Amino acid sequence: MLVSYRTLARVFRRALLPGPRAGVRRALISALLLLIRLAISRVDTARGARGNKRIQIGRYDDEEQAALAYNAYVQRHDLGNQLNDVDANGKPLPTIFKRSSRFHGVSWQANRSKCQWQVQYRDHTSTPAKTKTCHVGYYSDEEVAALAYNDAMIAAGLDHIRVMNRVDASGRPIPKDQ
């Protein structure tokens, strides 16, 4: 018999009677509920979006099934959303999120409404005791953000003090690891 987490929580909460050591009982029951929640087989949910409305596609036993169901739903309804990457056998590949930049002065900002590359630098020249953080802007392309960092360094007169992003002959920035 499969019992849902909500049913177990309801039963345990009813067991909390007022009296001595009620706080201890409450803490023990909360810990037990957490263990039960972790023990119940994990169900992955595939979610999508149609316009501004988020929809639930279904519940699946593992992440691969959820990813494949999401891809099928997006293709079936012609939504144009980004699909999960799959290999030659049709098995989903792990998603790798880019969190750090390849260039100086550029960082990834995922906590905004639109995920973008942020450019900022710290100016130590004004007062030795105070550091001023100077915000340059947000950019959708990492290379454009690197060039904006270079322009901001030159405009602030810090190009001889700070590390600049190197630029090749065609005007594209060269990553710092190359």
What are the domain boundaries of the chain?
A: 5-39, 42-96, 97-178
- Please give the pLDDT value at position 143: 92
Confidence check: pLDDT of 41 > 50:
no
Q: What is the mean pLDDT of residues 74-94?
A: 81
Question: pTM (2 decimals)?
Answer: 0.48
% of the chain surpassing 70 pLDDT: 62
Quickly list DSSP for the chain: ----HHHHHHHHHHT--SSTTHHHHHHHHHHHHHHHHHHSPP-EEEEEEETTEEEEEEEESSHHHHHHHHHHHHHHTT--PPPPPB-TTSPBPPP----B-SSTTEEEE-SSSS-EEEEEEEE-SS-SS--EEEEEEEESSHHHHHHHHHHHHHHHT-TTTSPPPPB-TTSPBPPTT-
Residues 119-154 pLDDT 10s: 999 887 766 667 888 899 999 889 999 999 999 999
Which is more confident, 8 or 118?
118
Where does the pLDDT of residue 56 fall: very low under 50, low under 70, confident under 90, or very high at 90 and above?
A: confident
How remote is the C-alpha of 133 from its chain's centroid?
24
